[in-house]
Structures are given as C-alpha cells and as structure tokens.
Amino acid sequence: MSTSRDFDCIVIGAGVQGSFTAYQLAKKNKKTLLLEQFVLPHSRGSSHGQTRIIRKAYEQNFYTHMMEECYELWAQLEREAGVKLYRQTGLLVMGPEKSANYQNIKDTLQRNKVPMVVLTHDNFSQHIPNVNLAKGDEALVDTTAGVLFADRALKTVQEQFLKLGGVIRDNEKVTDIKPGPVVRVSTSVGVYHAKSLVITAGPWANKLLANTGLQLPLEVVKINVCYWKEKVPGSYGMKQRFPCFVQTECLESKVHIYGLPSNEYPGLMKVCYHMGSKTDPDQRDLQKDKSDIEILQHYIARCFPGLVPEPAIVESCLYTLTPDHHFVLDYHPAYSNIMIGAGFSGHGFKFGPIIGKLLCELSLGEVPSYDLSPFHIRRFQSKTRSAL
C-alpha cells in the first residue's frame, strides 16, 4: 500500500459510482485514493444488495443513449475480471396504454431501435404466466434488459482498481475538505492532498459539500426492499426465465413498482415501491414508515396471484433524490477541480461504468463523452444555496 499522502485524485465514497470513477482514473495512470467511511463491504448506503435491474427502457433519450455504451463497459469489466456480472432476463414494462409514462418509454425504445416485443391482452398470458395485466394496460418487453449482480460487481471493480495500483482506505470518515489548487482532505486517520477531488458520497453528499460552501436540493429517503414468497417455488424464477418488471402506474400507485425474478433468496421474489420516506442516513432505523408495503400487498394480490401477499423479508436501501430525479454530474460551481456525482435517485447503479468514465473525464479536464446539460447543477438555480 502507498504510504504517500499526495495523489493526482481523491474520490470520496466507495459505492458503485465512486468505485468506477477511481477505476477509470487508475486506468489513465492517475495516482488515485478511494476513501470510504465504513468498513467494506457495507449495507449502509445505496450500492449494496445482490441484484439490480439493467435496462434501456427509459422515458428520456439521453439515458437510453448512455446505456448503449454502458452495456459494453459492463461486458468489458466481465472480460477483464473473468467474472459474470449480468444475466439477460428481459424487462416487462406494464402501464396504462394511454398514459404519458408508458408511451414515452415505448416511444424511446422504438426511436432508438432497442429490441422489444409489444404484448396485448390476447397474447400476454402465453408469454408471461402468473401475472394479471390490468384492464386498460398495455405491456412490452425490453429484451436486452436483465439483472446485474450488484455485490459481485462492486467487489469486482474495486479489485480491478487495486490491481491497477489504486489505493482504498475504508473505515476513514472525511472530517474536512479545504478547496484550493491542491485540495486538502482530512479524515479520522490523517490528511491527504490531491490535484482534483471527486465527491460520490451518496446520502452523505450534502454533509461533505457543506465543507465547500455548497448545498444541493437532495432528499434522502429510506426504501423498504421487500421479498415475497412464491406459492409454487420457481413460478417467478430467474432459472425459469421470468423477466424483471416495472409497473409505471396502477390502481394502487402513481409511483413505479418494480420487481426482479426470484434468485438471491430461493423461492422469494423482490418487489418494491420505487419511493420511500425522508430519513437521516446516520439514523435510518428511526424511519419506520411501512405505508408502501400496504400498497404492494394490494398490488401483488391483484396482479401476482402466485405470490403470498405478505412480505417474507424486508431490507432497506437509501435513495438520494434530486427534485427532477435526474443525476448531478458536474464541476463544483466555485472550484473547477472538485467534481460532484450525486442524486442518483434510485436508478443509478446500472450506469456505474459510464458515470465513472464521465467523472474521470471531468476530473482530467476532458470534454465529456455525452451532453451533461441534463445533469448540471445550474438547473436547480434558486434551490442550490451557499452553505457558508
């Protein structure tokens, strides 16, 4: 391990975004330090758990465009490490046929020539057993979608970063940041210096940004991650080629409901409400709201008759939301050598490789590979305030 405390770049936060940023910097031969406040691996933030959905099905073109390259970067990491990180299952998207959300997703997939199958009430049950398609709903399958093995992916990218000469210091909480031409970062253990700093601290982003005179309009919410028992084991199983799904809106909810086929807990399917209740990331267990579980119980009883409509396991995850649920990928407004990746709003994991590449490009002063205007801080205007 390097004993030097001077680096080309320091990345704060070793979740999926920070880990991929550090990995990309190390690939460019930059001496990089990745700092993490907790002992790795941990389940305190937004990057833990065994699975995540990977998909091109989005309402916005810019996400679908980014995912094209992202699939390639995930495959590249699989080849480099010799590890399987993705399994194609397809993504079933269901929603009211005439609703804007559903139609926008369908239009974006068609516009970008993403392979998909549109299902009607007449042929739905032939393709998707054990699911009831609501009256007035249409369905489509993004056939390129699937499941990312999240814990494995995070461990893999961190291992690759170390192989490239990167340094990870976990169990080191950042206590102060002093901006300047050389940024000084103080932790519970020591002091480090770097030419550039990337902050990818998830729910703790604003606590760190306060040291730099900036507060973003971020809200941290606690999500109940629910697993539901199959009445007949394997009915919704990954091995039986059951797809992931997103219900854009329904009788019970205007918020997305999503699910992944049973895999990590045999005989249990993950089905979650894509929103939670406000919480402090350092006191998450004080947030005990379970109102979303009641919504899910009604939805599952109506649409997934092969599941017992009572959660067998409830875990938790934190989302860090922006007002428009789009990411923040930008330079600090006052310091061009501090980059911010934040507000991934519960849909950022799959983008890890491309976000790492983009934050690396910003850190090196390169022109980013994509138009980042949807992710600029200035879109918040009056909602962004000085912390000083």
Which residue is catalytic, options 30, 44, 52, 55? 52
Q: By C-alpha distance, which of 10, 154, 11, 163 is closest to 74?
A: 154
Residue 185 β-bridge partners? 177, 192
Verify whether residue 143 is a known catalytic residue.
no
Which residue is catalytic, options 30, 48, 56, 229? 48
Q: Which two tokens stand for residue 363?
A: 């850190």
Using CA atoms, how far residue 273 sits from 73, 224, 242, in Å, is 29, 8, 19
Q: Which two tokens stand for residue 16?
A: 């999926």
Verify whether residue 113 is a known catalytic residue.
no
CA atoms of 218 and 377, how far apart (whole Å): 11
Task: Quickly tell me which residue has 């253990």 as its tokens.
Answer: 189
Which residue is catalytic, options 317, 320, 332, 360? 317
Which residue is catalytic, options 222, 229, 270, 326? 270
Task: Quickly tell me which residue has 């094209």 as its tokens.
Answer: 68
Which residue is catalytic, options 21, 32, 51, 64? 51
Verify whether residue 52 is a known catalytic residue.
yes
Which residue is catalytic, options 31, 222, 347, 350? 350
Verify whether residue 65 is a known catalytic residue.
no
CA atoms of 32 and 192, how far apart (whole Å): 11
Residue 139 has, within 13 A of its CA and on its CB side, a CA count of: 27
Q: In sequence order, which residues have a C-beta less than 8 Å from that of residue 291 and are 6 or more positions away?
A: 277
Measured in whole angstroms, the distance separating CA 164 from the mean position of its chain's CA atoms is: 25
Task: Quickly tell me which residue has 């989302």 as its tokens.
Answer: 319
Verify whether residue 274 is a known catalytic residue.
yes
Residue 78 has, within 13 A of its CA and on its CB side, a CA count of: 13
Which residue is catalytic, options 44, 256, 274, 347? 274
Helix residue spans in the chain (DSSP H): 16-27, 61-81, 100-111, 124-127, 150-163, 205-209, 291-303, 352-363
CA atoms of 106 and 93, how far apart (whole Å): 9
Verify whether residue 270 is a known catalytic residue.
yes
Beta-strand pair 32-35/167-169: parallel
R_g of the chain computed on alpha carbons: 21
Query: Which active-site residues does the annotation give?
Result: 48, 51-52, 270, 274, 317, 350
